[in-house]
A = this chain, B = another copy of it.
Amino acid sequence: MRQDIQALLSERQTQICARLEALDGAAAFTVDPWQHAGGGGGVTRILERGRCFEKAGVNLSNVWGPVPEGASAMFRAKAGTDLSGGEFFVSSLSLVIHPQNPMVPIVHANYRYFEISAAGRTEPIWWFGGGTDLTPSYLFEEDVRFYHQAYRAACDRRDREFYPRFKAWCDDYFFIRHRGERRGTGGIFFDDLTASSPGKLFPLIEDCTQAICDVYVPIVRRRSTTPFDDRHKRWQDLRRGRYVEFNLMYDRGTTFGLRTGGRVESILMSLPPTARWGYTVNPEPGSPEAELMEVLVRPREWA
C-alpha cells in the first residue's frame, strides 16, 4: 500500500496542478521539493496571483520516522496500545484553493494514509483519513448541491453508509466553536478509516482524489466571470478571516503539524492570501451575506 498510495497521490498532484493552471490561464505552479528530518519529504506546489486563483497550494508529503514526541499520545489512543519506539509512515495530499472572485468558493481537500509499526507487533496499524469541504462567501445552492451530490456518488460506489456519516462528521469537524458557525457548507470528512485490508479502501481514495477537479472546475467556470465590487471583496476577506480562525485554532492537521515539527510553510499554505476582521460585523437581514450565514449556523442536507 505504501507504494500504491504514493504513486496515486503523486500522479494526482501533477494532474490537479495541470488542470488548475490551464483553467487559470495566467499563473503557474512553482515546484518546491523539501526533505523531512526523520525521513522522506515532499513537494509543495503553489500558484499565487493568478487570474482565477489568488492563491492555490497543493502539497504532497511522504514522511516517515520514529513517532514524534507530541504525537505518541494521539497514536496510542488510536492504536489502543503503547507505541513507544514505534515508527510511522504517512503519505498525504492536501490542497487549498483561494479564488480571486468572491462568487467562487474556496475548496479544501486532504487525503492521507497512515501506518504505525510498534515494537511488539508483526502487522502495522494503518488507517485512512481525509475529506473535502467547500467554503463559499456567497451561497449558490446549485453549486453546493452539485458538490455534495458528486461526493455522495463517489462514496456510494463503495459503501452507502459512507456519505451520510462523512457528511455529518464534516459538519461537526469544520465548526468554529467560539463563533457558533461552520467554516463553510461542508462536504465529507473521515478519520481512522480501516477495513480488512488497505486495498479495500484504496478505490475510495482514488475516486475522491479524482473528484477534486471534476467537481471544482465546473464551479469555477460557472462563477468566475460574475461581476463583483468592493463590498463583495470585503465580505470575502471577512470570511477568509474566519477561515484563519478555524485553521489556526481548531484544525488538527495544522495544530498537530506545527506542534510536531512539521514544515511550517507547507502547513500554513492553507491560509488565505488576505483576510480581514471588523468589530461585530452583522450582515443586514435578507442580504446575500445573511443568507450565507444561515446555512453556516444551521447546516443543511444537500444531497
Contacts and interface: CB of A to CB of B under 8 A. Distances in A.
Contacts of A230: none
Nearest to A178: B258
Contacts of A179: 264
Interface string A232-256: 0000010001001100110000010
Contacts of A177: 258
A274 B244 contact: no
B248 A244 contact: yes
A276 B273 contact: yes
A276 B279 contact: no
Interface in A158-191: 177-179
B248 A279 contact: no
Interface in A268-301: 268-269, 271-280
A280 B48 CA distance: 12
Interface of A: 30, 32, 44, 46, 48, 55, 57, 177-179, 237, 241, 244-245, 248-249, 255, 258, 264-265, 268-269, 271-280
A205 to B, nearest CB: 26
B274 A178 contact: no
Given A249-B258, A273-B276, A274-B277, 11 more contacts: A30-B279, A46-B279, A48-B278, A55-B277, A55-B279, A178-B264, A237-B274, A241-B271, A249-B255, A268-B277, A273-B277
Contacts of A237: 274
Contacts of A279: 30, 44, 46, 48, 55, 57, 265, 269
A274 B273 contact: no
A275 B276 CA distance: 6
Contacts of A277: 55, 268, 271-275
A93 B274 CA distance: 30
A275 B278 contact: no
Contacts of A245: 248, 268
Contacts of A55: 277, 279
